[in-house]
């Protein structure tokens, strides 16, 4: 079961989660990648601090999702689908080699939909 979250409520709903959000991207070979990230909202736009591979994936394949896992003992995870509006990789050279240290960067995501999704209970 899922409950729609209005886009203008995403900041309010996501700030109520005590879990670390995950940025979901797709690698070049089609495999999904989930990375723990930091998220700041401005209306329906999320600025996401992510690692270098997630930033590169988002630049190449701009349909992404954000996932806030359900907190322990809670029923709902928050899923937000979005389209990448901008990618800003860090450009910090490594002092020792002069090459990029690949620290990551920012992914700006315009939310296109959000749901609260019931987490299945284990049958243990």
CATH value at residue 110? 2.30.110.10
Q: Is residue 26 part of a domain?
A: yes
Q: Is residue 123 part of a domain?
A: no
Q: Is residue 18 part of a domain?
A: yes
Q: Is residue 81 part of a domain?
A: yes
Tell me the Ramachandran region of residue 98: left when phi exceeds 0, alpha when psi lies from -120 to 50, beta otherwise. left
Q: Based on the structure, what is the number of domains in the chain?
A: 1
Give the domain extent around 15. 2-92+100-118
Chain-centroid distance, C-alpha 66: 3
Q: Is residue 68 part of a domain?
A: yes
Residues of the chain falling short of pLDDT 50: none
* Separation of first and last alpha carbons in the chain: 21
């Amino acid at each position: 079961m899922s409950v729609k979250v209005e886009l203008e409520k995403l900041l309010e709903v996501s700030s109520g989660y005590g879990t670390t959000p995950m940025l979901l991207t797709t690698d070049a070979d089609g495999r999904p990648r989930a990375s723990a990230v930091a998220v700041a909202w401005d209306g329906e736009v999320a600025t996401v601090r992510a690692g270098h591979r997630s930033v590169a994936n988002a630049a190449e394949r701009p349909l992404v999702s954000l996932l806030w896992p359900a907190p322990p003992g809670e029923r709902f995870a928050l899923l937000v689908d979005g389209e990448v509006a901008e990618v800003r990789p860090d450009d910090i050279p490594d002092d020792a080699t002069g090459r990029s240290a690949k620290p990551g960067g920012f992914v700006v995501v315009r939310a296109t939909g959000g749901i609260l999704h019931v987490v299945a209970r284990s049958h243990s």
